[in-house]
Amino acid sequence: MARLTPDNLLLARKIIARFPEPRSATIMLCHLAQEQDGYLSPEAMEQVAELIGATSAEVLGTASFYEMFKMHPVGKYCVNVCTNISCQLLGGEELLEHAEEVMGIRSGSTTADGMFTLEDVECVAACTEAPAVQVNYRYFNRVSPDDFDELLEDLRSGELSRTIPSHGTLGNVRQDLHGDRVANITSPSQQVEPAWFPNGDSDEGPAK
Amino acid sequence: MRDIEITEPVEITLNGELVTAQNGELLIDACERNGSYIPRFCYHSRLTPVGMCRMCLVEVDTGRGPALQPSCMIPVSDGMGVDTESDGVAKAQDGVLEFLLANHPLDCPVCDKGGECPLQDQAYAYGPGESRFVEEKRHNEKPIPISELVLLDRERCILCDRCTRFADEVAGDPLIHFIHRGSHTEVNTFPGEPFASYFSGNTVQICPVGALTASPYRFKARPWDLEETESTCTRCSVGCRVVVESSRNKVLRLQGVDSDPVNWSWLCDKGRFGFQAGNSGNRLSRPLQRCESGELSEVGWNTALDSAASVISAAIAGRGPQSVAVLGGARLTNESAYSWAKLAKDVIGTDNVDCQLGDGLPAELVLGLPGASIDEVCEPGATVLYLGPDAKEELPILYLRLRHAADFDGVKIVEVGPTLTGLSPYAAESVTAVPGETPSVLAALLDGTSEHVEASALLRNASDLKVVIGRANLAEDEAITVQTADLIRESVPGATFLPALRRANVRGALEAGLAPGFLPGGATLAGTLPTGWQSMPAERGGGAAEILEDAANGRVDVLILLGSDPLRDFPDRSLARRALAGAKTVISIDPFVNASAEQADLVLAASMFSESAGTTTSLEGRVTALNQLVTPPGTARDDWMIAVDLADRLGADLGVETSADDLAEEMAGFSDAHVVLGDGAPVGDGVMLDISGRDLLTSAEVEVPPANAYSLRLVLNRTMYDKGTLLEESESSAGLAGESVVKLSAADAAPLGVDGSTQVKVTSEHGSVTVAATIDSRVPKGVAVMHHALGDVDAGTLLVHGDPVCDVRVEVS
Ligand code: SF4
Ligand code: SF4
Ligand code: FES
Ligand code: FES
C-alpha cells in the first residue's frame, strides 16, 4: 500500500505537467493517492512531497485542512449522518443513534469488516431534505431508520456499487483532457498585476 | 524595529499629532518610531507580515472614518489618521487577548518564558484581566520534541506563524507547518520527520510565548536571575552579534542581536548552543605536564611556565629562534593574537608562525585582496561569484544572508565549485568544476567561451562583481585558489572579494601578524619595526605545512600549538602525525586536552568564549567586541596572560601593565579599528578594517595532472556538525555528527554496483580507507566527496600536502 502504482505515478506526472508550478498539483495528487488506497497515507504524502518539490510537512499542512482527506484507513463506505440544526429538528440525532446501534460502532469508527465508517457531520447543505445522510458524499434524503437499514443492506449486497464507488474514488468515469487543450493557466511570474494595485513592485519581499 | 533612512516622507496624524513617516512603511513601525509602541505577537521585522494575531489593531482613518485595522499589514500613506489609544482600540485589545488566552494553559509558574513573555506582559498591560470563557481548554501532550534541540508545547502556542514563517522564509527548511487547520490548528512536523534545521534555535528566540523551548536552557534559570553582556559569536568567522546570558558564573544561553550589517538577529544552532563546551566537565582547569611515567599530570603555573620558558630559551640558544614554531591563534582575541605575534616574532624571533592549518586561504589573499563586506555582497541587484565552501555547512549565517539576497533582493549568485551545495537551489547558476579545474572553467566563463552561456553572461555583464572566495575542497592545493583569485583580478579588475574563512578570528590573527612573512597590520618583514617592538625575525619562516614538515624531520625543537589541533584539523593527516612525533617539545595552549594536546609535553589551560574580553575580526574585516561574563574554570587564563608571563621569563616585556587594554592601545599603532575602539564609545556593530592601499598579492601557476578514467577526484569538505572538540564537548551537539561516508554520483556508482550503503574501499596513492558509499545527486560525475572529521574514517590519510589534487579509486570491498 501507499506509494503510487506505476500507472498512478504516470498520471501524477501528467497532472503536475499541467501546472506552471508543480506545487499547484498538491490537492490533485492527494486525491489520486486517496483514490488508490481509500485514504491518504503518510507514505503517499511523502511521495507527493517528492513529486512536487515540497516537504512532507507542507503536504500534510495543506491536506489536513480538508475534512475529505482521511489520514487514517476508513471503511469502503463513509456514512455521514447530519446532526446540524435542520436535521436535528427532524430526527438526525435519533438517526445517528440508530445507526450506531445497527452498525454496532460509535460515530467516528469503522466496522470490523472494513465496510463502513460512521461519522456525524455538520450541515451538508441538504436542509430541505432533512434528515440527510451521505455515503461517500452521495446524498440520501429524508432518511428514516428503516430507510437507513435498507441503505446498509443495499450497500452490503453490492446493489449500489455502480452509483457509489468505494471511498476515495472521485468518479466512475475519468475525463482525459489533452494537455494542450487546457486554457487560462498563466504562470505566476507572467501574471499581470491588476491596475488597482498602487505600485507594481510585488516581488519586493518584506517591507524594509 | 529597525532604523531606516526616511527618503520619501509623508505626514500622518498619530493620536492627534502630525508626525513624519516613510511612505509605504508599515504603520506598526511608523507608530513605534514616533513614540507609540503597538502591542504585537505575530509581527517580526525580519519576517513577512501576515496579520495572524490581531493584537496590533489600531483605528485608521483614510477619509472614510476610523476603522480597526491591523497596523502590521497597513502601509503608511500621506494624510492617514491613526489612533492607537482610543476606547475602540482598547476594547479590541481586550477582546483579542481574551481570545488568545481562551485555550492558553496559563502555566506561567512552570513556563521558561515567564518573566520575559510577550503574552504575559501584554496580557498584563492591555488585557481585560478576566475571561468570559468557562469552557474546557484544548489539551495536548505537553512538550513534544520537534527536533534534537527544540521542544513544542502546543497548548501554549498562540498560532502566530512566526516559527513556521521563519522555517520557510528565512531558513528554507519548511519542516514545521500548521496542520489540521481549523478549530484544531497546531504547529507540528510531519510524523517521523523532525525539524532538523541548522537554524532551529531561532524559532525559540522569536516565539512570543513559551511554546517553543530549547533543551539546553529548559528549567535552567529565570530571566530576572540572568546577567548579560553583548558579545560576538566565535564559532565561525561570520561574527554574529549575540547577547550572552549567565547565572551563577555559568553561561546558560545565547540570543541573537539584530545587527543590520551581520546577522539580522539570527544565529545558527552551532553558534547558539556551542557555549555548552565552556561548561563541559572536561575543561582544563590547570596546566598539565608530562611526568616521568609518561602521563600528563597537573602542575602549578609557575612550574609550567618555567619549563616552557626554559625549553624555548634552550631552543633559541641551541639551533636559533627559528627552531621554535607557533601553530594556531585563530581561536584567540585580536589582543591575545597580537601578544603572541609579538612574543614569537619580537621576543623569540621566529617567523615560523601560522594561524591557519593548511585549510585556509594564504595570508596574502586575506590581507591583500580588495574587500567586499557581507552587505556589499548582498546588495540588491548585485552579481556574486561564489567560490567558497558550502556556506550552509561552514558559514551558516552568511548562507542565510545570501539566500535572502537571492530570494528577495534580486541578487544573482553564480556558483562555481566541485559539487552542488546548500546554496545551489538559490543560485542563479551553478557550474560544477572537477577539482583542479576551477581556474580553467572560470577562465572560460569570464572570456565567454564557456558552454554555460547564461552563467557566463551573468558574470560578464556584472558591473560590479562581488566574489566570495574560499576553499571548497581541502584535498585541493591552496595554490589553485591563489591562481583563481589571480585570474579574476586580471579579467575583472574592479572585482571585490569576501574571503570565506572558517575559524572565528583567522582574519584578526592574520592582521595581528600570525602568519609567515608578516608583521601586524598587514606589514611585511621587509617593512619598518612596529611601535613597541625591539626586533623582528631575521629570515622569513614557513607556513603550517612547512612547520609540520620541519617538525617531522626533527628540525623543530619547540612546537607551540596555540589553540590548534593539527592531528584533527590539518588535512594531510600523516604529516600531522609525523610532525607531532618529530617535534622535540610540544606545548599546547588550549581549553581542552584535544587529540594533539594528548601528545604534548606541556598543556597550558586557556580561557574560552565569554571568559575573556577583547575584540575579534570577522571574515569581512569587522572588528567587534568580545565581552567577559564568567570566569574560567580553576586557574585557566587568557592567552595573552600566558604570552606576557612567558615573555617575562624570557627577559622581555610585552608592554602590558594591567590588562589587555594595554595591548589594544599598542595595536592602535597599526589598526585604525583599534583607534576607534580605543575611544571607549559603544561600538555595537563594530568597526570595519581599512585595508586599502596594500600591495601584497602573489600569484601561482599549478600543474594539475589530467584526470584519468579509472579514478575519481576527491573532494574533502566539512559539515556543520562533526567530531571537532568543541562540538563534541557541547552536550547538545555531541550526538549530531553524521557517519563517515563517501558520496558518489549515480553515474559513477552504477558501474561499481553501489546502491544504498555499500561498503567500499577508497584508495589513493598514499593510503586507503573503508567506508560506506552513498549516492548523492549533488555530486557530479568524476568526483568523490568525503567529509572532514566524521565517524572513525579518516579521509585525511588519503592526501599529501602539496599535491594539487587527490585522485582516488573506489572499489566495492
Ligand atoms: S510555536 Fe510560538 S512561534 Fe510558533 S506559532 Fe506557536 S506561538 Fe507562534
Ligand atoms: S554563523 Fe558563525 S558566527 Fe554566526 S552564529 Fe553561526 S557559528 Fe556563530
Ligand atoms: S442541517 Fe443537515 S443538511 Fe443542513
Ligand atoms: S502583529 Fe499585527 S496581526 Fe499580529
Residue-wise pLDDT for B9-37, tens only, equals 999 999 999 999 999 999 999 999 999 99
Q: Ligand 2 within 6 A of B76 CB?
A: no
The 10s digit of each residue's pLDDT in B608-648 is: 999 999 999 999 999 999 999 999 999 999 999 999 999 99
Q: How far apart are CA A39 and CA B653, in angstroms?
A: 79
pLDDT of B725 > 50? The answer is yes
Residue ending a domain, among B71, B100, B129, is B100
pLDDT of B2 > 90? The answer is no
Burial (0-12, 13-18, 19+ Cβ within 10 Å), A24: middle
Strands in B227-232's sheet, in edge-to-edge order, are B227-232, B241-247, B250-256
Q: Note the pLDDT of residue A20.
A: 86
The 10s digit of each residue's pLDDT in B276-318 is: 999 999 999 999 999 999 999 999 999 999 999 999 999 999 9
Helices (H), B462-526: 478-491, 506-512
pLDDT of A181 > 80? The answer is no
If you measure CA to CA, which chain A residue comes closest to B404? Answer: A205
User: In the 8-state DSSP scheme, what is residue A180?
Assistant: G
pLDDT of A207 > 50? The answer is no
The 10s digit of each residue's pLDDT in B637-662 is: 999 999 999 999 999 999 898 888 89
Q: How far apart are CA B224 and CA B280, in angstroms?
A: 25
pLDDT of A180 > 90? The answer is no
Task: Establish if B655 belongs to a structural domain.
Answer: yes
If you measure CA to CA, which chain B residue comes closest to A198? Answer: B24
Q: How far apart are CA B721 and CA B735, in angstroms?
A: 9
Q: Which of B190, B195, B265 to mutate against chain A (most A CBs within 10 Å)? A: B190
Please list every residue in chain B whose beta carbon sits closer than 8 Å to the beta carbon of residue A46: 190
Q: Ligand 3 within 6 A of A126 CB?
A: yes
Q: Note the pLDDT of residue A184.
A: 66
The vertex-A68 CA angle with A64 and A69, nearest 5°, equals: 45
If you measure CA to CA, which chain A residue comes closest to B179? Answer: A61
Chain A touched by B194 (CB under 8 Å): no
Q: How far apart are CA B419 and CA B714, in angstroms?
A: 11
Look-up of cell digits 627577559:
B651
The 10s digit of each residue's pLDDT in B67-102 is: 999 999 999 999 999 999 999 999 999 999 999 999
Q: Where are the beta strands (DSSP E) in B285-409?
A: 288-290, 296-298, 324-328, 353-354, 383-387
Residue B165 Cα to ligand 1 midpoint, Å, equals 10
The 10s digit of each residue's pLDDT in B156-179 is: 999 999 999 999 999 999 999 999
User: In terms of domains, do B667 and B547 share one?
Assistant: yes
Q: Note the pLDDT of residue A208.
A: 41
Q: Ligand 2 within 6 A of B268 CB?
A: yes
- Cβ contact, residue pair B193, A56, below 8 Å: yes
What ligand 2 atom has the least distance to the C-alpha of B239? 3
Task: Establish if B257 belongs to a structural domain.
Answer: no
Q: Tell me phi and psi for residue B293, to 5 degrees.
A: -70, -5
User: Is residue B730 a contact partner of residue B276, using CB atoms and an 8 Å limit?
Assistant: yes
Q: How far apart are CA B225 and CA B801, in angstroms?
A: 51
**Distance to chain A for B190, nearest Cα, Å:** 5
Pocket test for ligand 4, best of B27, B42, B45, B122 (most atoms within 8 A of CB): B42
Q: Tell me phi and psi for residue B399, to 5 degrees.
A: -60, -45
The 10s digit of each residue's pLDDT in B184-203 is: 999 999 999 999 999 999 99
User: In terms of domains, do B600 and B522 share one?
Assistant: yes
Strand partners, B213: B151
User: In terms of domains, do B527 and B654 share one?
Assistant: yes
Q: Ligand 3 within 6 A of A86 CB?
A: yes
- Cβ contact, residue pair B180, A64, below 8 Å: yes
Q: Ligand 2 within 6 A of B388 CB?
A: no
User: Is residue B678 a contact partner of residue B665, using CB atoms and an 8 Å limit?
Assistant: yes
Nearest to B26 by CA among B67, B103, B66, B82: B82
Q: Note the pLDDT of residue A176.
A: 76
The 10s digit of each residue's pLDDT in A21-68 is: 999 999 999 999 999 999 999 999 999 999 999 999 999 999 999 999
User: In terms of domains, do B475 and B515 share one?
Assistant: no
Chain A with chain B: Cβ pairs closer than 8 A? 59
Cβ burial A103-142 (10 Å sphere, 16+ → b, else e): bebebebbbeeebbbbbbbeebebbebbbbbbbbeeebee
CATH number for the domain spanning B581: value is 3.40.50.740
Kindly state the helix (H) or strand (E) to which residue B447 belongs, with its residue range: helix B438-447
- Cβ contact, residue pair B175, A57, below 8 Å: yes
CATH number of A77-157: 3.40.30.10
Strand B585-590 and strand B602-605: the pairing is: parallel
Nearest to B200 by CA among B173, B220, B219: B173
Number of domains in chain B: 4
Q: Ligand 1 within 6 A of B587 CB?
A: no
Q: How far apart are CA A199 and CA B646, in angstroms?
A: 67
Please list every residue in chain A whose beta carbon sits closer than 8 Å to the beta carbon of residue B48: 205-206
User: In terms of domains, do B529 and B478 share one?
Assistant: no
Helix/strand/coil for A80 = strand
**Distance to chain A for B265, nearest Cα, Å:** 15
- Residue of the nearest CA to atom 2 in ligand 1? B207
User: Is residue A63 a contact partner of residue A82, using CB atoms and an 8 Å limit?
Assistant: no
Chain A touched by B193 (CB under 8 Å): yes
- Cβ contact, residue pair B75, A45, below 8 Å: no
How is chain A split into domains, by residue range? 6-71, 77-157
| String of DSSP letters for A4-17 | PPHHHHHHHHHHHH
Chain A touched by B182 (CB under 8 Å): yes
Please list every residue in chain A whose beta carbon sits closer than 8 Å to the beta carbon of residue B29: 207
- Residue of the nearest CA to atom 2 in ligand 2? B236
- Cβ contact, residue pair B191, A199, below 8 Å: no
**Distance to chain A for B408, nearest Cα, Å:** 5
- Cβ contact, residue pair A65, B181, below 8 Å: yes
User: In terms of domains, do B510 and B632 share one?
Assistant: yes
- Cβ contact, residue pair B26, A207, below 8 Å: yes
So what's the ipTM on this one?
A: 0.90
CA–chain centroid gap for B366, Å, is 17
Mention every residue, 6+ apart, whose C-beta is less than 8 A from residue B55.
B39, B40, B41, B42, B93, B96, B97, B100, B122, B126
> Which cell numbers hold the place of A74?
476508513
For residue B574, give its domain range.
Answer: 288-360+505-681
Task: Establish if B137 belongs to a structural domain.
Answer: no
CA–chain centroid gap for A196, Å, is 36
What ligand 1 atom has the least distance to the C-alpha of B203? 3
Burial (0-12, 13-18, 19+ Cβ within 10 Å), B211: buried
What are the residues of chain A with a beta carbon less than 8 Å away from any beta carbon of chain B?
42, 45-46, 54-61, 64-65, 199, 204-208
Kindly state the helix (H) or strand (E) to which residue B808 belongs, with its residue range: strand B807-812
User: In the 8-state DSSP scheme, what is residue B190?
Assistant: B
The region of weakest confidence among A101-115, B395-409, B727-741 is B727-741
Q: Tell me phi and psi for residue B445, to 5 degrees.
A: -65, -40
User: In the 8-state DSSP scheme, what is residue B138?
Assistant: P
Kindly state the helix (H) or strand (E) to which residue B82 belongs, with its residue range: strand B81-83
Residue ending a domain, among B429, B464, B499, is B499
Q: How far apart are CA B459 and CA B812, in angstroms?
A: 41
User: In terms of domains, do B321 and B447 share one?
Assistant: no
| String of DSSP letters for A92-116 | HHHHHHHHHHHHTS-TT-B-TTSSE
User: Is residue B53 a contact partner of residue B39, using CB atoms and an 8 Å limit?
Assistant: no
Q: How far apart are CA B108 and CA A132, in angstroms?
A: 47
Rg of chain B on CA atoms, in Å: 28
Q: How far apart are CA B750 and CA B745, in angstroms?
A: 9
User: In terms of domains, do B479 and B533 share one?
Assistant: no
Q: Ligand 2 within 6 A of B577 CB?
A: no
Task: Establish if B228 belongs to a structural domain.
Answer: no
Residue ending a domain, among B100, B133, B167, is B100
Burial (0-12, 13-18, 19+ Cβ within 10 Å), B319: middle
- Cβ contact, residue pair A60, B179, below 8 Å: yes
Q: How far apart are CA A13 and CA A28, in angstroms?
A: 11
- The answer, yes or no, to whether the previous bond of A131 is cis (omega within 30 of 0) is yes
Q: How far apart are CA B435 and CA B806, in angstroms?
A: 8
Kindly state the helix (H) or strand (E) to which residue B672 belongs, with its residue range: helix B672-678
Q: Note the pLDDT of residue A206.
A: 47
- Cβ contact, residue pair A57, B174, below 8 Å: yes
Mean residue pLDDT of chain B comes to: 94
Q: How far apart are CA A150 and CA B729, in angstroms?
A: 70
User: In terms of domains, do B555 and B669 share one?
Assistant: yes
Q: Note the pLDDT of residue A201.
A: 52
- Cβ contact, residue pair A61, B4, below 8 Å: no
Helix/strand/coil for B469 = strand
Residue A121 Cα to ligand 3 midpoint, Å, equals 9
- Cβ contact, residue pair A55, B190, below 8 Å: yes
User: In terms of domains, do B463 and B532 share one?
Assistant: no
**Distance to chain A for B418, nearest Cα, Å:** 24
Residue B634 Cα to ligand 2 midpoint, Å, equals 28
Residue B738 Cα to ligand 2 midpoint, Å, equals 20
Nearest to B37 by CA among B46, B28, B25, B45: B28
Nearest to B431 by CA among B406, B456, B412, B411: B456
Nearest to B112 by CA among B199, B217, B202: B217
User: In terms of domains, do B556 and B661 share one?
Assistant: yes
Task: Establish if B145 belongs to a structural domain.
Answer: no
Neighbours of B432 (CB within 10 A): 22
CATH number for the domain spanning B735: value is 2.40.40.20
Q: Tell me phi and psi for residue B373, to 5 degrees.
A: -85, 170
Residue B502 Cα to ligand 1 midpoint, Å, equals 33
Please list every residue in chain A whose beta carbon sits closer than 8 Å to the beta carbon of residue B26: 207
User: In terms of domains, do B663 and B733 share one?
Assistant: no
The 10s digit of each residue's pLDDT in B374-392 is: 999 999 999 999 999 999 9
Partner residue facing A56 (CB), from B4, B24, B190: B190
The 10s digit of each residue's pLDDT in B519-577 is: 999 999 988 899 999 999 999 999 999 999 999 999 999 999 999 999 999 999 999 99
User: Is residue B518 a contact partner of residue B543, using CB atoms and an 8 Å limit?
Assistant: no
> Which cell numbers hold the place of B477?
592545493
Residue B242 Cα to ligand 2 midpoint, Å, equals 10
Nearest to B60 by CA among B42, B77, B43, B44: B77
If you measure CA to CA, which chain A residue comes closest to B407? Answer: A205
Task: Establish if B495 belongs to a structural domain.
Answer: yes
User: Is residue B38 a contact partner of residue B71, using CB atoms and an 8 Å limit?
Assistant: yes
Please list every residue in chain A whose beta carbon sits closer than 8 Å to the beta carbon of residue B190: 42, 45-46, 55-57, 59-60
Domain with residues A6-71, CATH architecture: Orthogonal Bundle (1.10)
Nearest to A88 by CA among A75, A97, A100: A97
pLDDT of A200 > 90? The answer is no
Q: Note the pLDDT of residue B700.
A: 83
Task: Establish if B42 belongs to a structural domain.
Answer: yes
> Which cell numbers hold the place of B407?
530570494
Average pLDDT over residues A171-198: 71
Chain A touched by B25 (CB under 8 Å): yes
